Amino acid sequence: MPIAALVIAALVFAGMQRNDARVPHTTGAPETEIVAALARPHLLFRETGQGGSFGRLTVSALDTMPARLATTITCDRVSFAGGRGLCLHTDRGVFNTYTALLLDGRLRPGASIKLQGLPSRTRMAAGGRVGAITVFVLGDGYAADFSTRTTIVDMTTGDEIGELEQFTTWRNGARFRAEDFNFWGVTFARDDNIFYASLRTARITYLVRGELGLRKLTVLRENVECPSLSPDNKLLAYKKRFGPSPDAWRLHVLDLATNVERIVASETRYIDDQVEWLDDQHVLYGVPRRTTAISDVWVAPIDGSAPARLFLAEAESPIVVR
C-alpha cells in the first residue's frame, strides 16, 4: 500500500483539539500583490524548490503563471474554497508538532487546531462551511500497515463535527464494521452534505459515499483511493489498483450518472496524490522528482487527447480557486 510508507516518520498519537500554536512567520510577497492575485482565478500550492520559500503557501494567478507570490506561512497540505482555507503545518524540532491553520479570504491564519499526527490530506467543501483533515496516527491498538484519522471540521469555529470512524458504514445493504477501519482522501459535493472518501480494511481499499447529515457511509467500489469530484460534480477521479505490485495504480474517472469508469490514458505513471481539477476536463497532481525533495505539478486531459505535461515546476498540493 503506497500510502503506508508515509507513516514511518510519524511517531505520534491520535487526536485533535483547538490550539493557540505559534504561526510560523517569514518574509513573503507584498500583501497588495497577493490580494490582487487572489481577486483573479488562481492556483494555491506548496513551494518545493530549494531556497527560502521552500514549503511556503504560494499564489499564482492563472493568467500570469508561472509567476508566483509566496505568503508568510508554510504548509504540508493546503485546501481552499468559499473564502476559507486549511493549511496543515509541521513545526519541526526535537519532537515535531502538527497544526491545522484556518485561513481567511486573504490567506491570513486565524484559529488553529492541534494535530497529534502527521498531515496527510485536506479538502474544503465548495461553500467553505466544512473541511476535512486526515493525519497518520499510531496507538490505535490493532495490527495494520498504517493508521489514519479523518475528521470533519466546522470551518466557522474550528470545532470538530465528527471522525469518519464514528459514522455507520454500509456494504451491500448490511452494516459493515471492523476495528482496522482507516479513512482518508475526502472530497465534498457542492451541497456540503455529500462527500466521497477512501476506506481501507483487511488490506482492501474501498470507495465510499458519505452523507454528513446522517453520519452514514456507503461502500461503492473496491481498489479505489483518493477520490476527487469535478467542478460540475458529474465525474469522480481517483487512483485505482490494476495489478498486484505496489505501484500498480493508475488514474481513472467515474461518470456518476452512468457508473461508467475509464482510465486516464494521458498519464501512464503511478501517481500517489489526490488530484485537483483544473476544469471539467483536466486534472492536476503532484509528481516527486527522484532523489530530491522537489515535486512538480502536472496536468492531464481526462479524455486522453494529449499526453500529460508539466504544469508548474517546484510545486505540490495544487488547489484551483475561481
Question: 55, 70 in Cβ contact below 8 A?
Answer: no
- CA distance linking residue 16 with residue 28, whole number of Å: 29
- The 3-class secondary structure across 276-316, one letter per residue, is EEEECCEEEEEEECCCCCCEEEEEEECCCCCCCEEEECCEE
- Per-residue pLDDT at 246: 80
Question: 127, 88 in Cβ contact below 8 A?
Answer: no
For 103-120, b where at least 16 C-beta lie within 10 A, e where not — what string? beeebbbeebbebbbbbb
Domains of the chain with bracketed CATH: 2-321 (2.120.10.30)
pLDDT per position as a tens digit, 229-249: 999 999 999 999 988 888 889
- Per-residue pLDDT at 239: 96
pTM of the model: 0.90
How far, rounded to the nearest angstrom, does the alpha carbon of residue 78 sit from its chain's CA centroid?
7
pLDDT tens across the length of the chain (322 residues)? 444 444 433 333 334 544 433 334 346 899 999 999 999 999 999 999 988 899 999 999 999 999 999 999 999 999 999 999 999 999 988 889 999 999 999 999 999 999 989 999 999 999 999 999 999 997 554 445 679 999 999 999 999 999 999 999 999 999 999 999 999 999 999 998 999 999 999 999 999 999 999 999 999 999 999 999 999 999 999 999 988 888 889 999 999 999 999 999 999 999 999 999 999 999 999 999 998 889 999 999 999 999 999 999 999 999 999 9
- Per-residue pLDDT at 93: 87
- CA distance linking residue 164 with residue 217, whole number of Å: 8
Q: What distance, in Å, lies between the first and last C-alpha atoms of the chain?
A: 34
Residue type (1 letter), 210: G
Which of 133, 132, 99 is CA-nearest to residue 116? 99
98: buried, middle or exposed (CB in 10 Å: 19+, 13-18, 0-12)? buried
The position carrying cell 476495528 is: 179
Which of 205, 184, 204 is CA-nearest to residue 196? 184
